[in-house]
């Protein structure tokens, strides 16, 4: 959890604590268990994800669904009509996100095309987990995960040039550990998932790892 995430969650807990305290002292009478209060467990995490995460599609859809449920329980909107529109809404949101990401990250896409991506190592995990430690020259990799996970440790790897790691995560996860002397740039298309890149790029680093990721109900964690 990064610092900004901690601050947001801290504010949420402080507000809840203050309300409970005021109610206990009889200073206020704020009902935190209003009709549909449980939807806040959907709305608040998704709202924080919209602010803090780079891949926002899943959080946006979750936030809208939570908000719609709350408004319908409160009798403000008609849930029956919303249920008929929810599937078209999700499909349109995914389509817009795929197009938008492709346009916004065009520069990263162009750089990936210039990197040698032949003879890449292949790591596959299907209903299983795999840990890979690289301590020689790393040329790039394809990492495919379905209901599983791959830990790719590159901290002792040697980088002669820029490399590409193509990842596909479907109901699974990939963790990539990188050394401090390389930069990381990400291009991703995500549906209810995403890429969490914790690397701070430095101008003095000579080589770059390009992450080309597709995530569906899964994610890539880069540290």
Q: Could you tell me if 60 and 89 are in contact, meaning their C-beta atoms sit under 8 angstroms apart?
A: no
Q: What is the SS3 assignment for 208?
A: strand
Tens of pLDDT, residues 10-68? 787 888 888 888 888 888 787 777 788 888 888 888 887 777 665 666 777 788 888 88
Q: What's the pLDDT at 33? A: 75
CA geometry: angle 27, 29, 31, nearest 5 deg: 145
The predicted structure's pLDDT at residue 160: 85
- Strands across the sheet containing 173-177: 129-133, 149-153, 173-177, 219-222, 194-197
Please tell me the distance from the alpha carbon of residue 27 to that of residue 25, in angstroms, as a whole number.
Answer: 5
| DSSP label at residue 123 | E
pLDDT band at 154 (very low <50, low <70, confident <90, very high): very high
pLDDT in tens, 69-98: 888 888 888 777 777 777 787 777 767 666
Mean pLDDT for the stretch of residues 2-6: 61
% of residues, the chain, pLDDT over 90: 12
């Amino acid at each position: 959890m990064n610092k900004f995430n901690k601050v947001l969650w801290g504010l949420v807990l402080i507000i809840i604590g203050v309300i409970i305290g005021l109610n206990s002292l009889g200073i206020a009478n704020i009902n935190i268990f209003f009709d549909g209060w449980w939807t806040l467990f959907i709305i608040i995490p998704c709202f924080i994800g919209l602010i803090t995460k780079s891949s926002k599609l899943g959080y946006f859809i979750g936030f809208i669904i939570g908000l719609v449920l709350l408004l319908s329980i409160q009798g403000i909107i008609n849930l029956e009509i919303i249920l008929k529109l929810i599937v078209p809404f999700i499909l349109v949101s995914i389509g817009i996100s795929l197009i938008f990401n492709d346009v916004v990250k065009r520069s990263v896409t162009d750089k990936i095309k210039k990197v040698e991506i032949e003879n890449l190592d292949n790591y596959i995990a299907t209903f299983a987990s795999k840990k890979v430690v690289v301590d020689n020259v790393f040329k790039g990799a394809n990492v495919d995960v379905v209901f599983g996970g791959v830990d790719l440790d590159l901290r002792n790897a040697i980088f002669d040039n820029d490399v590409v790691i193509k990842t596909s995560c479907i109901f699974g996860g990939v963790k990539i550990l990188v050394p401090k002397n390389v930069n990381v740039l990400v291009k991703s298309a995500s549906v209810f998932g995403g890429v969490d890149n914790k690397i701070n790029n430095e101008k003095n680093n000579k080589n770059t790892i390009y992450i080309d990721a597709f995530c569906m109900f899964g994610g890539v964690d880069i540290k």
